[in-house]
A and B are shown apart, each in its own frame.
Chain A
Amino acid sequence: MDALRLPLLIFLLGVSILPFVWTLLSSFKTNKEILSSAISLPAELSFKNYVSVLTETPLPSFYVNSIVIAGGATLVSLLVYGMAAYVLARLKFRGRDTIFGVLTLSMLVPVTALILPIYRLMTNTGLYNTRVGLVFVYTALALPVSLYILRSYFLTIPKDLEAAAYIDGASFLRAYFFIIVPVAQPGFAAAAVLAFLAAWNDFLYALILTSGARARTVPIAVRFFQTEYATNYGRMFATIILIIVPTIVIYVLLQKRIERGLVAGSMKG
């Protein structure tokens, strides 16, 4: 294992970085440069591809859609699943563990198998091609991971904390929103960043539930540009970079939190 260690780790680092470094370098090149010298450095650090993508294509409006949709789905997820996770962590009632088990089993559903009923649900309710429709779908996709992370976090909070509030006559609602929520901020942050990234990165549902530029999100841009600007490679490279940069910024800033969330949300054992 020791002899294999460095070659394997360096190979994996290579495949994890080099394709993106090459994409970044290529995004500064003209089409002619890309075609004539694919592995040389760009002749100059030109942002022309970025400018043309951001001014001549609907990418900026996709960005707005992505921020609104991913942000909306994150907020709704925290509100909805936070309350449920709290009940499932604190209240004792018959069937509680079964309910929690069934809800988190949704993690094991290959959701690509459900595209048709969800597509029809959205068209029948008039939510097809709307931001609200995608907010609902991404909220649903965030269910298992959010619920798991939030409940695990609530379980670490000592019960005495709310007990005192209840003695002072606080209602269940008050105790949750004014005592638990502020204390559980790290749990909410972990659930939020994962829900946001999942919504931001999704391609499949954005593809089947939108048409035209109205509700399209950023990852769909690659598909859109693949047909519209098939031979303008510089623009394609710039588009890829513009899709992944926000994700990488979020990851670098919140790396520890994301890692803990991924571990807590993975149904260990």
Chain B
Amino acid sequence: MLLFLFPTAAVFTLFYAYPLVNVLLTSFTDWKLTQPPVFVGFRNYVDLSRDGVFIASLVNVLKWLVLSWTVYVGIGILTALMTAEETGFNRIFRVIYLIPNMISIAALAMTFYFVFQPTFGVLNSVIRAIGFPQFNKNWYFEYDSAFFAVTATTIFFAGVIMLLVSSEVSSVPSSVLESAKIDGAKRWQRNLYVVLPMIRNIIGSSLILATVQVLKVFEVIFLTTRGGPGTQTMNLSLYLYRMALTSYQFGYANAIGTVTIVIGLIAIMAINRIFRMGSSHEV
């Protein structure tokens, strides 16, 4: 009967365990296209610490992490609380708001590539039509707007977070909310002091989900700015891809991968601790 587990264990070993170990171990080697890997200790990491592109990618990823923990997860929580009542408008909102999370990120990225396109893009066209042509920009390709444009491509689409939080909000017993209401608590007070502490676990899960999503961002940048201008929108995934599949610096690429994994681990453990997840949230 345990044989039932075997295919899953095989998939896990081949596509998760082995690659993880492989990335970690070869990050300590000098490994180029044709030669076998040679152990070099921490040299790749020392080189990374002096690599301007890597530092820029790392800083961008940290900025995007903070933005997604605050703005992205914040929007998810707010929309869940704001649409908690079962009205027609709320139901329609929830259905439509999830659409950008359902479609291919590649298609989403291309759509926004054209939205932000400088000559016939809808954003610049609207800005011109209402009489402010001086505010027209080449959004993805100018120094002061590229980071904003890449961020704006995904940060508003927190439908999945909304869905997770809603499912938990609806399980808050109405008797608790009623008694808070009787005690004179306004709606925002009830949300802030009663609902939020009770859904602490799902907020922690949402932050973890957001963390993994940020670390996995690739398409949005690859199909729009390609990391530029300069290194304004470079991130770890894109730099790893470049090192692995265009420069063939396999050891170096896997050191970038290891850093990505370690950032994820640290963030997830911290979130777990701060939100004391797993502990009961009954009052």
Contact = CB atoms under 8 A, between A and B. Distances in A.
Interface of A: 1-2, 4-5, 8-9, 11-13, 15-20, 22-23, 26, 34-35, 38-39, 79-81, 83-84, 86-88, 91, 93, 99, 102-103, 106-119, 121, 136-137, 139-140, 143, 147, 172, 176, 197, 200-204, 207-208, 218-220, 222-223, 226, 233, 236-237, 240, 243-244, 247-248, 251, 255, 258-259, 262-263, 266-269
Contacts, number: 262
13 contacts: A12-B75, A84-B5, A103-B8, A110-B215, A110-B216, A116-B240, A116-B244, A116-B257, A139-B11, A201-B106, A226-B110, A268-B205, A269-B202
A233 B114 CA distance: 9
Contacts of A109: 16, 20, 212, 261, 264
Interface of B: 1-2, 4-5, 7-9, 11-12, 14-16, 18-20, 22-23, 75, 78-79, 81-83, 93, 95-100, 102-107, 109-112, 114-115, 119-122, 125-126, 129, 156-157, 159-160, 163-164, 167-168, 187-188, 191, 201-202, 204-205, 208-209, 212, 215-219, 222-223, 236-237, 240-241, 244-245, 250, 253-254, 256-258, 260-261, 264, 268, 277-278, 281
A108 B208 contact: yes
A140 B156 contact: no
A269 B205 contact: yes
A222 B8 contact: no
B106 A243 contact: yes
A240 B164 contact: no
B16 A140 contact: yes
Nearest to B102: A251
A4 B168 CA distance: 22
A8 B114 contact: no
A36 to B, nearest CB: 8
A137 B250 contact: no
Contact of B16 (A106, A200, A263): A106
B136 to A, nearest CB: 12
Residue of B126, B168, B219, B237 most packed against chain A (CB within 10 A): B219
B201 A5 contact: no
A19 B245 CA distance: 33
A90 to B, nearest CB: 9
Contact of A116 (B95, B120, B209, B253): B253
A268 B201 contact: yes
Top 3 nearest A-B pairs (CB, nearest first) are: A140-B15, A113-B257, A110-B215
Contact of B163 (A4, A84, A88, A263): A263
Contact of B107 (A107, A207, A222): A222
A136 B205 CA distance: 28
B47 to A, nearest CB: 17
B216 A19 contact: no
Given A9-B83, A203-B104, A251-B102, A112 B4 contact: no
Given A39-B125, A222-B106, A269-B201, A111 B216 contact: yes
B218 A269 contact: no
Given A197-B102, A243-B104, A269-B277, A112 B215 contact: yes
B248 to A, nearest CB: 10
Contact of B120 (A23, A38, A219, A240): A38
Contact of A119 (B100, B125, B208, B245): B245
Contacts of A4: 78
Nearest to B112: A19
Nearest to A36: B120
A141 to B, nearest CB: 8
A26 B122 CA distance: 10
